[in-house]
Structures are given as C-alpha cells and as structure tokens.
Amino acid sequence: MADISQVLPAIDHTNLKQNATAADIRKLCAEAAEYGFATVAINSCWVKLAAEELAGTGVGISSCIGFPLGAACTEAKVAEAKQSVADGTTEIDMVVNGGLLEAGDLDAVTADIRAVVEAVPSTPVKVIIECCLLTDEQKEAACRCSMEAGAAFVKTSTGFSTGGATVHDVELMRRVVGDTCQVKAAGGIHSLEEALAMLDAGADRLGMSAGLAVAEEIAALG
C-alpha cells in the first residue's frame, strides 16, 4: 500500500492548456516549489521561463512534445525535444504515433520513439500511449515498443482524449514493463484516494492538474 508521504513527490504538476499565459506558468512553478512536486508538465514554449522560475528549487520540468496528438513527423518531435533540452527541460513527455500503432506498424512506432530517445540521450523520455483509444493488446505492444526504444517511462494518457488513467491500465503497463521502465498515470486523477490507487497499481509518477487539491487533502489530515 502506498503511503501518503509518497504522493506529493510523485506529482508532475500540470498546465497544458492552449491558452496558458506566462503568469499561469509562473504560478504553476511557484506551487510546485512550495509543495515539492516532482516536475511541472508544460508545453515546450514555456520551458525556458519555467527553468528560470525553478532554478535552485529541485523541481524538474517535463516538456510535452508532439502534444497532444502524437501525429507530428519524427523530425519535428526530435527538433522539439532538442530545443526543450536546450531551454532547460529535465524530462520529455512524447506522444506515440497512434496511427502507426493502430495500423500495427510496430517497427515504425519504435523508430519514432527511438529517434527522440537518441536525440536527447541524457534526458528521460516518457512515452504517452493514450490508452483510452487502444485495446489491451495495443497497449501491451506500445509498452514493448517503448522498452525496445529505450524510453524511461510509459504513460497512460495526455488528458486531452476520451479518457484518462485507470487502475487497469496502470496495472497492465506495470506488468508489461516490469522494472525496465517506470509508469506514469496521467489524466483524470482528482483526489488523494485516486492518487493512492494509481500508486498502489504500480505508478511511479502522477500527472495531475489537481495537485493543489490533493495537497490540501493531505494537509487536512494533519
């Protein structure tokens, strides 16, 4: 059973809204530093600002690339990842090419992921699989592609599609990747109870825009 003390350090404090402003990102960073969240998860245009805001805090930056559809060409994903690292990101969250996965072209799926992993060799890459659109067989295949390509994490969801993280999907991903990759549950996690359930299912990281609400729940428990 996960302990409450594990929750806040596992959170990627998220603002991926298309109309997020610089003020919103500064606020996100201040909150992450205050509560000791793992990273802020943001669109790549804000990485440089976040790096300035978070300097010396110990909070990392998850730059989301090819987001939210994953349908950008590999070269674009590579360029975005490289620029994010140059701007100061500490982690990359890339969206898998769902069309290639749907068609069963697993070699191409793996190559797309590997190109990003190899482009930023010192930066952990999380692969967003968008489980809500896939069969369990496809989820398993995407996890295997991610492992083969050298990804550091597999991740359940963007939070922008038809569903978010589920206990079932986290358990499935953990079963497939074992200790080879870490697992990030993201999308639709709104409460302490839900966060603990994801950790119990095998998640190492939690992508959440409700991190403050969970922090308040924890504070209320004394």
Domains and CATH numbers, the chain: 4-220 (3.20.20.70)
CA 25 vs CA 32, 46, 75, 160: distances in Å? 10, 7, 27, 19
Residue 189, pLDDT > 90, answer yes
Active site residue 82: no
Active site residue 93: yes
Q: One of 93, 112, 169, 204 is an active-site residue; which one?
A: 93
Q: One of 77, 126, 139, 155 is an active-site residue; which one?
A: 155
Phi, psi of 107 (to 5 degrees): -65, -40
* pLDDT tens profile 144-181: 999 999 999 999 999 999 999 999 999 999 999 999 99
Residue 7, pLDDT > 90, answer yes
* Mean pLDDT calculated for residue range 82-100: 98
Percent of the chain with pLDDT over 90: 99
Look up the pTM and report it.
0.97
